[in-house]
Chain A
């Protein structure tokens, strides 16, 4: 797991009360039971953690942790 994925996982576990074992093998945010409002909340937490600005709809419930990390890297977050 990359450093960015680690930081996302920490937020999911500590702030969003996701069980670490549910995050395996490409689980999407939808698989974790995230609805549209939770996606907005997570998006704001990622903005805060990584100092980026994710626009409306950039983070989606079809993304896994790895895909969310790719999105952040594309926004200029250092790996």
Chain B
């Protein structure tokens, strides 16, 4: 059976990093706020720094760089289709993927966006695997990219502490099920009854059809942290277990878990619940924060760059995000050139 096989990987972080110390110093300078120390942010989230876009820099700019690096990593200049997972497109309409495809000189290929917030990249992988299995295309550039700091309330320390910007990309080619890099074990899920736990309520048809001006606070991202935390742990644990069992590995037979980097304590709780050592979880959240759709591919790239993902490793990927949505997939890590990506704590991007 035709399978989608991981053939290249790339990543991109915006140049500006904002460490916790800078964030809390900005916060302390505001009138009427209580002071917060930098350690409070890292103990609650595991995040020490995050990258943010420069004025005028957009999601597509990050996506193009990550996409080019994934093509370079695969040693190719073409892709049959571009699927971009993002929740912060350059414009409300049209989709951002065609622009990315054009700037990568890929020609008149199919290109579209997928929206599943922090699960977007896993949904995009499943979509791409389906396109390849159905022989609609022979290769897909799958990109997860978000400039999520552009939708944060500038006066909200809690979301500014958590989120960062970035992009990660993989090139998938048609191959054979069972070969290294072949994706399998997909699970996709959703629960729209909890749509208001993670949302940007303004700007869509629900608000615009009222004919009333949008309230400023409704244009910003908001999230109800505690219920989201509990559901993230429960859903990602279930998804991981399903995928590992579907492939006959069992959770204990998985070498590395690459989960959505929402909060280090969510990853710890998943590890505890699955009864697997926490060191099997690849994590780059300390350096990049929660990068939404870019989170899983950036963690894959960081894992490969630092040798935490090695050829032959049984790897399970999982995401969880707004919608609510969740999803998982797995692969045996293939022998790839190291991603064109310096981990941020080793001196920034290449």
In angstroms, how far is the closest chain A Cβ from the Cβ of B247?
A: 23
Establish whether residues A37 and B265, one from each chain, have CB atoms under 8 Å apart when the complex forms. yes
Task: Kindly state the separation between the CA atoms of A43 and B273 in the bound complex, as whole angstroms.
Answer: 11
Whether A15 is near chain B, meaning CB under 8 Å from some CB there, is yes
Q: Please, which residues of chain A bring their CB within 8 A of the CB of B226?
A: 36-37, 40, 56
Can you name the residue of chain B whose Cβ is closest to the Cβ of A15?
B272
Q: Evaluate whether A41 and B265 lie within 8 angstroms (CB atoms) in the complex, with A56-B227, A56-B230 already known.
A: yes
Q: Please, which residues of chain A bring their CB within 8 A of the CB of B234?
A: 44, 47
Task: Kindly state the separation between the CA atoms of A56 and B234 in the bound complex, as whole angstroms.
Answer: 13
Task: Kindly state the separation between the CA atoms of A37 and B43 in the bound complex, as whole angstroms.
Answer: 11
In angstroms, how far is the closest chain B Cβ from the Cβ of A13?
A: 14
Whether B23 is near chain A, meaning CB under 8 Å from some CB there, is no
Interface size bucket, A side? 10 to 19
Q: Give B56-75 as 1s and 0s: 1 = Cβ < 8 Å from A's Cβ atoms.
A: 00000000000000000000
Establish whether residues A45 and B272, one from each chain, have CB atoms under 8 Å apart when the complex forms. yes
Whether A48 is near chain B, meaning CB under 8 Å from some CB there, is yes
Q: Please, which residues of chain A bring their CB within 8 A of the CB of B273?
A: 44-45, 48
Establish whether residues B230 and A40, one from each chain, have CB atoms under 8 Å apart when the complex forms. yes
Whether B229 is near chain A, meaning CB under 8 Å from some CB there, is yes
Q: Please, which residues of chain B bring their CB within 8 A of the CB of A40?
A: 226, 229-230
Can you name the residue of chain B whose Cβ is closest to the Cβ of A45?
B272
Main secondary structure of the interface of A (DSSP, over half): helix
Task: Kindly state the separation between the CA atoms of A43 and B269 in the bound complex, as whole angstroms.
Answer: 11
Can you name the residue of chain A whose Cβ is closest to the Cβ of B228?
A40
User: Which residues, 20 to 44 on A, are CB-close (under 8 Å) to B?
Assistant: 36-37, 40-41, 43-44
Establish whether residues B233 and A44, one from each chain, have CB atoms under 8 Å apart when the complex forms. yes
Whether B44 is near chain A, meaning CB under 8 Å from some CB there, is yes
Q: Please, which residues of chain B bring their CB within 8 A of the CB of A37?
A: 44, 225-226, 229, 265
User: Which residues, 137 to 156 on B, are CB-close (under 8 Å) to A?
Assistant: none
Can you name the residue of chain B whose Cβ is closest to the Cβ of A41?
B269
Task: Kindly state the separation between the CA atoms of A2 and B230 in the bound complex, as whole angstroms.
Answer: 27
Establish whether residues B272 and A43, one from each chain, have CB atoms under 8 Å apart when the complex forms. no
In angstroms, how far is the closest chain B Cβ from the Cβ of A61?
A: 12
Establish whether residues A44 and B227, one from each chain, have CB atoms under 8 Å apart when the complex forms. no
Can you name the residue of chain B whose Cβ is closest to the Cβ of A42?
B269
Task: Kindly state the separation between the CA atoms of A36 and B234 in the bound complex, as whole angstroms.
Answer: 17
Q: Please, which residues of chain B bring their CB within 8 A of the CB of A48?
A: 272-273
Can you name the residue of chain A whose Cβ is closest to the Cβ of B231?
A56
Q: Please, which residues of chain A bring their CB within 8 A of the CB of B233?
A: 44
User: Which residues, 202 to 251 on B, are CB-close (under 8 Å) to A?
Assistant: 225-227, 229-230, 233-234
Establish whether residues B265 and A44, one from each chain, have CB atoms under 8 Å apart when the complex forms. no
Q: Please, which residues of chain B bring their CB within 8 A of the CB of A56?
A: 226-227, 230
In angstroms, how far is the closest chain B Cβ from the Cβ of A19?
A: 19
In angstroms, how far is the closest chain A Cβ from the Cβ of B185?
A: 22
Q: Give B262-289 as 1s and 0s: 1 = Cβ < 8 Å from A's Cβ atoms.
A: 0001000100110000000000000000
Can you name the residue of chain B whose Cβ is closest to the Cβ of A57?
B226
In angstroms, how far is the closest chain A Cβ from the Cβ of B68?
A: 39
Task: Kindly state the separation between the CA atoms of A67 and B190 in the bound complex, as whole angstroms.
Answer: 34
Q: Please, which residues of chain A bring their CB within 8 A of the CB of B227?
A: 56
Can you name the residue of chain A whose Cβ is closest to the Cβ of B273?
A48
* Residues of A bordering B, CB below 8 Å: 15, 36-37, 40-41, 43-45, 47-48, 56
* Residues of B bordering A, CB below 8 Å: 44, 225-227, 229-230, 233-234, 265, 269, 272-273
6 more contacts with CB within 8 A, not counting A40-B226, A56-B226, are A15-B272, A36-B226, A37-B226, A41-B229, A43-B230, A44-B233
| Sample of 25 A–B contacts (CB below 8 Å) | A36-B226, A37-B44, A37-B225, A37-B226, A37-B229, A37-B265, A40-B226, A40-B229, A40-B230, A41-B229, A41-B265, A41-B269, A43-B230, A44-B230, A44-B233, A44-B234, A44-B269, A44-B273, A45-B269, A45-B272, A47-B234, A48-B272, A48-B273, A56-B227, A56-B230
